[in-house]
Structure 1
Amino acid sequence: MRKIAVSLALVVFAGTAIANETAIEGKWMRGDGNALVRIAPCGAKICATNLWIGDTGRGEEVGDKLVMSLTPGSSNTYSGTAYDPKRKMRYSIVVTARVGGLTTRGCLFGKLLCKDVMWTAAK
């Protein structure tokens, strides 16, 4: 019984350590499979830059950026603002990181119109 308890404690500890190391920086594939982005520092901010776009019919292009000012919160959550220079639009944004993935929630008009997007880690 003691070995099982120790094993469970190690699994919980390892899972917590992995979760705490989760970062938003890296390459991410959007849930619809139409975009690959790199999230990385750009000056004092963080940029999500399109590396690949499958269907450019919606106006998305390689090189488009979303410039974010984010503040870390609890449970691997970051919140702040995002600016899309191409469309000249500013959003409120919440990014929640988990092992192997992200969820972004972007909102307009005082958080009246929001959209969630799932992302998976890309190689």
Structure 2
Amino acid sequence: MSRRFIFLSVLLAAFSGTTVGHAQDADASGTWLTQAGDARVKISKCGGGICGHIVWLREPMDTATGQPATDSKNPNPALAKRPMIGLPLFSGMQPASPNKWSGQIYNADDGSTYVSSVTVTGAESLRVEGCVGALCGGETWTRAGR
């Protein structure tokens, strides 16, 4: 199974400002299709910020085993058995500025968590941006539903 969408998201993980407590003008809640179109992530409000979980994969089955895809790259053996569907991607995403949250993003390609930010850039678009080392960039996810 391709986990390119998660890997790209981590490569694009953001180093963002640390200002917290701003009111959010836009709502990130809903289901978002990754730029590659191979996954949908449901974002909801939680703990004063936002959380994101995988709710759909283009390739939900592990081609090697014929079983539902799992978080097999996670270094923790107990977590490596988690299904990809339902896997939390965001953690600690708190308001950073209007329409922007900062926190962490999980990369199922290597089982690591990285600094990240997401920004609502329009009614139908969410920007995931950032840097890992000297590599910086971003990708745009589109709203798939609320």
Superposition TM-score, scaled by structure 1 size: 0.63
Q: Which shows bigger deviation, 85-94 or 100-109? A: 85-94
Give unpaired runs (5+ residues) of structure 1: 1-18
Paired residues of 2:49 and 2:94 also in contact (CA < 8 A)? no
Alignment of 1:27 with 2:31, yes or no, is: yes
* Residue in structure 1 matching 2:127, options 78, 103, 122: 103
Cα separation, 2, equivalents of 1:107 and 1:90: 13
Report the equivalent of 1:68.
91
The correspondence of residues 1-123 of structure 1 with structure 2, limited to 5 A, is: 20=25, 22-41=26-45, 46-56=50-60, 61-84=84-107, 87-97=110-120, 98-109=122-133, 112-123=134-145
Quote the offset at 1:77 in angstroms: 1.6
Aligned residues with identical type, % of pairs: 30
CA offsets 1:88-115 (integer angstroms, 9 cap, x no match): 3121111110221101125434xx3344
Give unpaired runs (5+ residues) of structure 2: 1-23, 63-68, 71-83
Task: From the CA coordinates, give the structure whose radius of gyration is larger.
Answer: 1
Superposition TM-score, scaled by structure 2 size: 0.55
| CA RMSD across the alignment | 3.1
Paired residues of 1:45 and 1:68 also in contact (CA < 8 A)? no
Aligned pairs, number: 102
Task: Considering fraction of residues, name the structure with more helix.
Answer: 1
Q: Secondary structure at the match of 1:23?
A: coil
